[in-house]
Amino acid sequence: MFLINGLGLLLVNITPHQPLTNSSNRRRILVLLNPFSGQQQALNLWANEVEMIWREAGYQIEIIVTERPFHATELAEQICLDRVDILALGGGDGIVSEALHGLCSRADHERALRLPILHLPMGTGNALASSIAYQANEPFPPRGSFCQQMALMAIRPNFNRLCLYQVEIEGGRRKGQNNKNNNQCKIMFLSLSWGLMADIDIGSERFRFLGMARLHLEAFLRVAFLPYVARYKARISYLPLPEGRLRNKIMEKMRMRVEERREEIEKEEEENEDFEEMIKGIEIPPLDQPVPSNWQTIEEEFCFVHIAALSHIGSDLPYIPSAKLDNPVLFLTFVQWQKISHRLHMAKILLSIDTSAHLNDPAFEIIPILACRVNPEKDAGGWLALDGEAVINDGKNSSMSFQVGPGNNKNATIIGRQRR
């Protein structure tokens, strides 16, 4: 088994985390499947759309079906890296988050994070798989299965970097997590959300059987009760991108809609080294200390605050199409209550995300940043979601301060393919 350490180590074809190679091309894939994800179709999708592709390719496969929350975290902590070439994660973004936390908590986390991860989109949102496919210009159905497209990427893999970010939350723990783990390092790869968008995401869990439609139904119900919900007062402090060429390029593209951006992808040049230089030396103070003087601050009443790292927040929700997996730039987005003319205006913003038309609404604000802190007013309420998963507050107040910034040079390795 791949999870058992032993003295006789098999070293096979080259992957970023393997120190040696031999002549064998038989790739070894460890598959973690979450049977509870989305509409609970992971096992069927695996059998009907993925398994045959990899069996015919001659891959050596081990499958583990997760049994409880954070089981994927435990398994990722135990993987024998010398016996696995690809870690395939079947489910939504939750199983990706769990596995990444497990890899980050290992003593050999630097090597563990070079283990290639392939996301098989079997959940509700599937933001990571969607962002990978979109950045590679790989067509995929927004509301259908694209497990086969992702599975084929393992045949001729292209290893890409996925930026990870450090998160600190006041008295918070992820839902289902034990208190004893409360002080563990929290990482983010997708988003940190507070207010109406998080309320919709977490509240819609009761409609999981509807698939992606659950988000639309919950959004309708929440908007119907405006203005009695979604008025959250907070102070937002953020570290903006420094003035210069890179900031100007990001500002030019950040309101590009999904199809406009798709046309631009082919023409882009890689500038990762420039971005790395931008974040060198950035130090984020702990939550109980004031932010540095070069940070900027906004204090208002918000409908929501959403910090995005990827282009998609769901397979049919291209939220910031210009966001890239491998660039350490976050996008602080929010809507101030005073800029909403009526409840249908808020509904229009939410319902237009599937075409990226929300980017054209002047009430929807976007700021490219390197770090951010949010201090809600005491008892302001509202759910907080980290990578789409609820964060539970163990403190006295109903609201939690939180911040996100560069991940101390921690980056994961994901499987995609060359752009078309």
Residues with catalytic annotation? Answer: 93
Contacts of 117 (CB under 8 A, 6+ apart): 86, 87, 88, 89, 96, 99, 100, 162, 412, 413, 414, 415
**Going along 92-213, which residue ranges are E strands?**
116-121, 158-169, 172-174, 186-188, 191-195
What whole-number distance in Å separates Cα of residue 65 and Cα of residue 226? 41
What whole-number distance in Å separates Cα of residue 28 and Cα of residue 17? 13
CB 326 within 8 A of CB 161: yes
Report the chain's terminal Cα–Cα distance, integer Å: 36
Contacts of 47 (CB under 8 A, 6+ apart): none
What whole-number distance in Å separates Cα of residue 296 and Cα of residue 298? 7
Q: Where are the alpha helices (DSSP H) in 172-211?
A: 196-203
DSSP symbols for 226-252: TTSS--EEEEEEEEEPPSSHHHHHHHH
What whole-number distance in Å separates Cα of residue 43 and Cα of residue 36? 10
The two beta strands, 317-318 and 312-314, are antiparallel
> Based on C-alpha coordinates, what's the Rg of the chain?
21
Signed CA dihedral, 290, 294, 300, 306: sign only: negative
Could you tell me the two tokens for 147? 């497990």
In 3D space, the residue among 81, 98, 105 whose CA is nearest the CA of residue 30 turns out to be 81
- Alpha carbon 292 to chain centroid, angstroms: 27
What whole-number distance in Å separates Cα of residue 167 and Cα of residue 41? 31
Q: What are phi and psi of 213, to 5 degrees?
A: -65, -20
